[in-house]
């Protein structure tokens, strides 16, 4: 599904690499949590995978297509990126206009676009939000609409950047339930280690732009020393009270 | 600060109004755009001394507002933003143009006064017409119709994004101001010495936000062209609306209804 080889990224005007020699593969249907302290390179990794940020060296192959300029549009059809702040993702006035944005860009006729939007909304049980103004929604609703705006494209790979941030416990729980029911391959960059424990089978632990550990979720997230070494703590559910 | 929150809410209010359902809302956006354009151009084309000719044009907002279910208050509030500009122009005419236009009893009405009233009336009617359009048609739809009228797509997109960003920018400013005032509770507004860093910070935040929104757009296949909702063709009601309004506007432009009724009464 996804193969990343020797990936290095350096931001303009910076001497340090944001990502250095990153290599991993993700199988179809797998859910991988990308964790690490602030500035470890989690969000950068997701942005590079979408092609929004260009990489200095290395290669990315998604669904047998090499990520390069000429394949960018085709690849973005297969990818769904959920940004950390849903307000950045919902830029159209109404929920429907926002969800229709992607299909329209790919030339989908209006009737088909509306059918796809309805399907995505009902998949997440938020059909009642269709005609609402995007900026009037609650944090949890915004997150679900952002997810719908991506699912409408029927992506094979979902990239989620801190999906549970800004959410109250109930909305968080609901979102985890929704994500758990989705069949897509997922890469989730998160500080919410409990969610990683609930949703993912594998963890990639980033430290200062390189992969420190790539291990099954139970091995990595139960290891207090390993997490501490990378500036993290045990998930709350595993901490002794 | 509260006024900033009100301003953001005001923009949202217009968007909400545009989502209502009424006979005017159901009209094709292009029909409303054409009629509004024609109406505004006709009003502007009146010579400054022809106040009586302009007055019957009040009929348009008087009919369209109740028909579209648009409340007067929000539109009047927005009108207040436009009026000061024409007020400036009007006042300068009031001072500079001193010739006698006519007498009311022994009271001399100067040409400057007539011109002042004419400018204010033209502004009032033009802004009302545009506000009625925005309150009954979503801004995105208007932008899409402009694209069909061969206005460059990049300009239409800029319009949509600017309109969208306006409320975001206002709320960002409001939250920065809130944070600022909590740390200086006894002062009014922003100190001059902090103004530069405040504005700079706001610009940086706006850039960051714009960058993230652009990234989100690119991830969903955006390639510089915004594809809005494709409306069906014109219906009979749209054709009737355009024909009726165009004929009415032409009639009122060349036949002075006020004078006619005045003569009848006299």
Its ipTM equals 0.81
Whether A54 contacts chain B with CB within 8 A: no
Q: Are both B238 and B126 inside the same structural domain?
A: yes
Interface test with B, best of A94, A104, A137, A147 (most B CBs within 10 A): A104
Dist. CA B192–CA A136, nearest whole Å: 34
**pLDDT tens column, A123-181:** 898 999 998 888 788 888 999 999 999 999 999 999 999 999 888 899 899 999 999 99
pLDDT of residue B6: 64
What are the b/e assignments for B42-76, b being 16+ CB within 10 Å?
A: bbeebebeebebbebbeebbeebbeebebeeebbe
Helix (H) or strand (E) holding A241: none
Side-chain-side CA neighbours of B199 within 13 Å: the count stands at: 7
Residues 198-237 of B with CB under 8 A from A: 209, 212-213, 215-223, 227-230
Co-location of B131 and B161 in the same domain: no
* B144 inside domain: no
Question: Nearest Cβ partner of B19 from A89, A94, A110?
Answer: A94
The pair of structure tokens assigned to A85 is 């702040």
What tokens appear for B29 in the block? 């956006």
**Range with the poorest average pLDDT among A105-114, B78-87, B179-188:** B179-188
Identify the residue whose tokens are 């679900």. A144
Who contacts A163 (Cβ-Cβ below 8 Å, separation ≥6)? Answer: A82, A143, A175, A179, A188, A190, A195
Three-state DSSP at A155 gives coil
- Verify that B98 and B45 share a domain, yes or no: yes
- For residue A97, the chain B residues in CB contact (below 8 A) are 138, 140, 229
Nearest to A133 by CA among B32, B147, B173, B167: B167
Quote the domain boundaries for residue B64: 1-138+229-257
By C-alpha distance, the chain A residue nearest B20 is A131
Residue B125 and residue B234 in one domain = yes
* Inter-chain residue contact B212 with A88, CB threshold 8 Å: yes
CB contact under 8 A, B220 and A47: no
Mean pLDDT of B175-199: 79
Same domain, B70 and B161: no
Are residues B9 and B49 located together in one domain of the fold? Answer: yes
Whether residue B227 and residue A105 make contact (CB cut-off 8 A), yes or no, is: yes
Instruction: Answer whether A131 sits within 8 Å of B19, measured CB to CB.
Output: yes
Maximum distance among all Cα pairs of chain B, rounded to whole angstroms: 72
What pLDDT score was predicted for residue B192? 83
Residues of chain A with CATH 3.40.50.300: 1-78+156-241
Is residue B120 located within the same domain as residue B235?
yes
Q: Give the β-pairing of A185-189 and A157-161.
A: parallel
CATH assignment of A1-78+156-241, given 1.10.1370.10, 3.30.70.980, 3.30.43.10, 3.40.50.300? 3.40.50.300
Find the closest chain B residue to A47 by CA distance.
Answer: B215
Is B12 found in the same domain as B131? yes
* pLDDT of the residue at A76: 85
More reliable by pLDDT, A51 or B36: B36
Q: What residues of chain A lie within 8 A of the CB of B230, using their CB? A: 109-110
* In a domain? residue B127: yes
Domain check: are B13 and B67 in the same one? yes
Torsion of the alpha carbons at B220, B225, B231 and B234, rounded to the nearest 10: 180
- Counting residues of chain A whose pLDDT is more than 70, the rounded percentage is 99
**Which pLDDT score, from 0 to 100, does residue B10 have?**
66
Does the beta carbon of B157 lie under 8 angstroms from any beta carbon of chain A?
no
With contact defined as beta carbons under 8 Å apart, do A108 and A119 qualify?
Answer: no
- Cα angle A78, A156, A187 (rounded to 5 degrees) comes to 105
pLDDT given for residue A194 in this prediction: 93
Q: Is residue B116 part of a domain?
A: yes
- Distance, in Å, from the CA atom of A137 to the CA atom of A6, rounded to the nearest integer, reads 41
Helix H, strand E, coil C: the string for chain B is CHHHHHHHHHHHHHHHHHCCCCHHHHCCHHHHHHHHHHHHHHHHHCCCCCHHHHHHHHHHHHHHHHHHCCCHHHHHHHHHHHHHHHHHHHHHHHHHCCCEEEEECCEEEEHHHHHHHHHHHHHHHHHHHHHHHHHHCCHHHHHHHHHHCCCCHHHHHHHHHHHHHHHHHHHHHHHHHHHHHHCCCCCCCCCHHHHHHHHHHHHHHHHHHHHHHHHHHHHCCCCCCCCCCCCCCCCHHHHHHHHHHHHHHHHHHHCCHHHHHHHHHC
How many beta-carbon pairs below 8 A join chains A and B?
77
B178 touches chain A (CB under 8 A): no
Within this chain, do residues B41 and B14 fall inside the same structural domain, yes or no? yes
Asked if B80 and B180 sit in the same domain, the reply is: no
Integer Cα distance of B70 and B52 in angstroms: 27
User: What confidence score (pLDDT) does residue A241 get?
Assistant: 61
A149 interfacial to chain B (CB closer than 8 Å) = yes
- List chain A residues with CB under 8 Å of B213: 88-89, 91
The 10 Å Cβ neighbour count of residue B204 is: 10
Tell whether A93 lies on the interface with B, counting CB pairs under 8 A.
yes
Query: Is residue A114 a contact partner of residue A164, using CB atoms and an 8 Å limit?
Result: no
Q: Identify the pLDDT of residue A33.
A: 95
Instruction: Using CB atoms, pick whichever of A101, A110, A135 lies closest to residue B220.
Output: A101
Residue A85 confidence (pLDDT): 87
Of A73, A89, A136, the CB nearest to B223: A73
Q: Which two tokens stand for residue B32?
A: 């409303």
Q: Which two tokens stand for residue B138?
A: 């979503």
- Give the number of other CB atoms < 10 A from CB of residue B101: 16
Distances (CA, A) of A219 to A197, A234, B261: 11, 12, 90
Q: Are residues B84 and B120 in the same domain?
A: yes
Cβ contact B216–A91 (<8 Å): yes
Position B151 pLDDT exceeds 90: no
pLDDT at B36: 95
| Confidence (pTM) | 0.76
Those residues with Cβ within 8 angstroms of residue A149's Cβ, 6 or more apart along the chain or in another chain:
A89, A90, A98, A99, A101, A102, A120, B220
Polymer length of chain B: 266
Beta-carbon separation of A133 and B12 below 8 A: yes
Q: Are B124 and B79 in contact (CB under 8 A)?
A: yes
**pLDDT-based confidence at residue B245 (cuts at 50, 70, 90):** very high
Hey, are the CB atoms on B219 and A81 less than 8 Å from each other? Answer: yes
Q: Could you tell me if residue B263 is inside a domain?
A: no
Whether A32 and A186 have beta carbons less than 8 Å apart is answered as yes
* Tally of domains in chain B: 2
CB within 8 Å: A102 and B16: no
User: Is B147 within the bounds of a domain?
Assistant: no
């Amino acid at each position: 599904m996804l193969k990343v080889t020797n990936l290095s990224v350096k931001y303009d005007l910076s001497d340090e690499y944001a990502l250095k020699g990153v290599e991993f593969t993700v199988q179809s249907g797998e859910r991988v949590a990308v964790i690490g302290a602030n500035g470890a390179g989690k969000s950068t990794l997701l942005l590079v995978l979408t092609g929004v940020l260009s990489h200095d060296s290395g290669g990315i192959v998604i669904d047998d297509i090499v990520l390069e300029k000429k394949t960018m549009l085709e690849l973005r059809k297969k990818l769904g990126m959920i940004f950390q702040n849903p307000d950045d993702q919902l830029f159209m006035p109404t929920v429907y206009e926002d969800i229709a944005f992607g299909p329209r860009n790919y030339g989908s006729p209006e009737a088909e676009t509306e059918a796809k939007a309805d399907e995505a909304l009902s998949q997440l049980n938020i059909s009642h939000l269709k005609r609402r103004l995007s900026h009037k929604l609650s944090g949890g609703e915004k997150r679900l609409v952002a997810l719908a705006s991506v699912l409408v494209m029927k992506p094979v790979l979902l990239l989620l950047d801190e999906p549970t941030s800004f959410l109250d416990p109930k909305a968080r729980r609901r979102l985890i339930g929704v994500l758990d029911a989705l069949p897509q391959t997922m890469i989730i960059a998160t500080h919410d280690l409990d969610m990683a424990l609930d949703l993912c089978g594998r963890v990639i632990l980033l430290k200062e732009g390189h992969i420190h550990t790539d291990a099954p979720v139970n091995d990595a997230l139960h290891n207090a020393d390993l997490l501490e070494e990378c500036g993290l703590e045990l998930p709350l559910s595993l901490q002794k009270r | 600060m509260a006024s900033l929150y009100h301003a953001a809410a005001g923009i949202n209010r217009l968007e909400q109004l545009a989502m209502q359902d009424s006979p005017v809302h159901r009209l094709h956006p292009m029909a409303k755009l054409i009629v509004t354009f024609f109406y505004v151009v006709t009003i502007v084309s009146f010579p400054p001394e022809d106040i009586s000719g302009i007055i019957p044009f009040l009929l348009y907002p008087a009919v369209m507002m109740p028909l579209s279910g648009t409340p007067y208050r929000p539109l009047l509030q927005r009108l207040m933003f436009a009026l000061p500009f024409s007020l400036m122009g009007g006042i300068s005419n009031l001072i500079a143009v001193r010739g006698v236009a006519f007498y009311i009893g022994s009271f001399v009405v100067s040409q400057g006064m007539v011109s002042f009233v004419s400018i204010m009336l033209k502004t009032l009617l033009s802004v009302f017409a545009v506000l009625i359009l925005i309150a009954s048609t979503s801004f995105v739809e208007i932008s899409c119709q402009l694209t069909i009228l061969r206005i460059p797509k990049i300009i239409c997109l800029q319009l949509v994004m600017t309109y969208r960003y306006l409320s975001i920018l206002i709320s960002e400013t409001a939250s920065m101001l809130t944070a600022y005032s909590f740390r200086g509770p006894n002062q009014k507004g922003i100190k001059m010495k902090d103004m530069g860093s405040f504005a700079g910070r706001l610009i940086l935040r706006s850039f960051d936000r714009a960058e993230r929104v652009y990234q989100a757009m690119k991830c969903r296949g955006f390639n510089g062209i915004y594809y809005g909702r494709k409306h069906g063709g014109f219906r009979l009601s749209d054709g009737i609306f355009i024909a009726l309004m165009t004929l009415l506007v032409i009639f009122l432009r060349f036949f002075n209804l006020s004078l006619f009724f005045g003569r009848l009464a006299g």
